[in-house]
Amino acid sequence: MKSKVIAAVTNLVICAVIIVTALVGFYGGSAAAVADADNVYYGSQSEDEVCLMFNVYQNTGCVRDIVELLETYEAKATFFMGGCWADDNTDCVREVYAAGHEIASHGYFHKDHSKLGYEANLSEISTSVRLLEALCGADVRLFAPPSGAFGEYTVSACSKLGLDLVMWSKDTIDWRDSDPDVIFSRATDGLEGGDFILMHPTEGTVKALPRILGYIRNAGLTCTTVSHALGE
């Protein structure tokens, strides 16, 4: 059972950052890095819900295809959107939100937040948050760092902005591997309530998603938003 990981001691945050950096370097950004810090989550305490998390910086057509599939299976998801993409695809952002999905921040320019200072983290995240809130007329509550890379200043910036920093418990690595069977396997192997499943709007993901959603439904699980899973 996955659970919230929360701690409030600064030296644990520093240790976690070192671990994250090592994992990202070893796995090329695909590792399911988990940090011990205030409001850093990699899963919920739900026994019957899972969360599909889509990190979006490209492939607008695939985003729309994903929204249609989610509607077909009566599933909800959280879309972590890059600001520079959202600025060029305002209609799509609004469509995703109007379909009942959660809109969250993935930064503005897909930077390595572990290498940014406090002010740079704050600017990169807040700019995307203001844009998404203006487009949707709703509060943005979550931030997912690109490549899972973050540092102490990222955590501090999120705290300043009132955001939860969100990681994942299952990574499909669909941005690299396009085989729908591989994507399906990574999303569903050992799946249990509380999992946060990381995905991207790729053609392989669109092809794999009906099987993934069917598997989740047949397992007696429900797809919900991250904020709902965290009780917010």
List pLDDT tens digits, range 3-18.
333 333 233 333 443 3
Segment 89-108 shows an average pLDDT of 98
Angle between helices 118-136 and 152-161 (to 10 degrees): 40
Q: How many CB atoms within 10 Å of residue 106?
A: 25
In angstroms, the first-to-last Cα distance of the chain is: 20
More confidently predicted of 102 and 29: 102
The confidence score (pLDDT) of residue 104 equals: 98
Q: Where do runs of H (alpha helix) occur along 28-151?
A: 60-72, 83-88, 90-98, 118-136
Provide the total of helices (H) and of strands (E) in the chain, helices listed first. 9, 9
